[in-house]
Amino acid sequence: MDSIIRLNGIVKNYVVGTQVVRALRSLSTEIHKNEYVAIMGPSGSGKSTLMNIIGCLDTPTDGEYILNGKDVSKMEDNQLAEIRNTEIGFVFQTFNLLPRYTALENVMLPLIYAGMPKHDRVKRAEEVLESVGLTDRKLHKPNELSGGQRQRVAVARALVNKPSIILADEPTGNLDSKTSVDIMALFQEIHSHGNTIILVTHEEDIARHARRIIRLIDGEIEYDRKNTHPIVEPV
């Protein structure tokens, strides 16, 4: 099986005043193509730090991070920005949509940074909005959309560059239970199309949608196991 992510001995330390906080302690794991992985753990377990490193938002203090065959652990900021735009699709709890832009314009943003011509980026953005069921809302701004619709726009934006992985940070944290079910069904559908999904959550019921669960405690892996009975939402 093809390894998309390989983490070898990842250490992340933060200096807080006169103290050194050891957020990750020689963590090693692999994630393969088309896996659906949940990263779990209580507050302070290191899951947010791990997400930032996987998402190339931060670099490790020590260790090696290989993403799609490239060692990104020692890259400069401009190199990491390019990797983020081409290899990783982000979905955040707070949606992170630009309020003055329509759904279509928000989804097109990564394509603008990638230098795609306008005609092509409009076409691609319309395709992914259709895939998440929002064709009829493409010209609406975020304040004209429900929470679930805003998260679908965020998912479409994550998919638009055809990234290697979708990295979702507490994607249902700001949603009610019914809308959360709808969003998890959407992730299920995206996974069925061959995408690799990494879901960061503290919620057991959300993690149980994944096919593999990695639980962290005090910056180390407490367990890493297959979820043999994942929750499958009706589509």
**Count of domains in the chain?**
1
Any domain includes 232: no
In a domain, 163, yes or no: yes
Please check whether residue 231 lies inside any domain of the structure.
no
By residue range, what is the domain housing residue 60? 3-226
- Start-to-end CA distance of the chain, whole Å, equals 28
Residue 111 in any domain: the answer is yes
Buried b (16+ CB within 10 A) or exposed e, 9-35: ebebeeeeeeeeebbbbebeeebeeeb
- The model's pTM is 0.92
Query: Model confidence over 89-102: pLDDT tens digits?
Result: 999 888 899 999 99
pLDDT tens readout for residues 45-63: 999 999 999 999 999 999 9
High-pLDDT (> 70) share of the chain, %: 99
Say what the pLDDT of residue 216 is: 96
Domain membership of residue 234 (yes or no) is: no
CATH of the domain at 173: 3.40.50.300
Give me the pLDDT at residue 1, please: 59
Residue 235 lies in a domain: no
CB-based contact 181:206 (threshold 8 Å): no
- Has residue 170 been placed in a domain? yes
- Give the tens place of pLDDT for each residue, 109-122: 999 888 899 999 99
> Does 118 reside within a domain?
yes
Query: Which one, of 119, 216, 137, 231, lies nearest residue 181 by Cα?
Result: 231
Look-up: residue for tokens 């944290």? 173
β partners of residue 19:
16
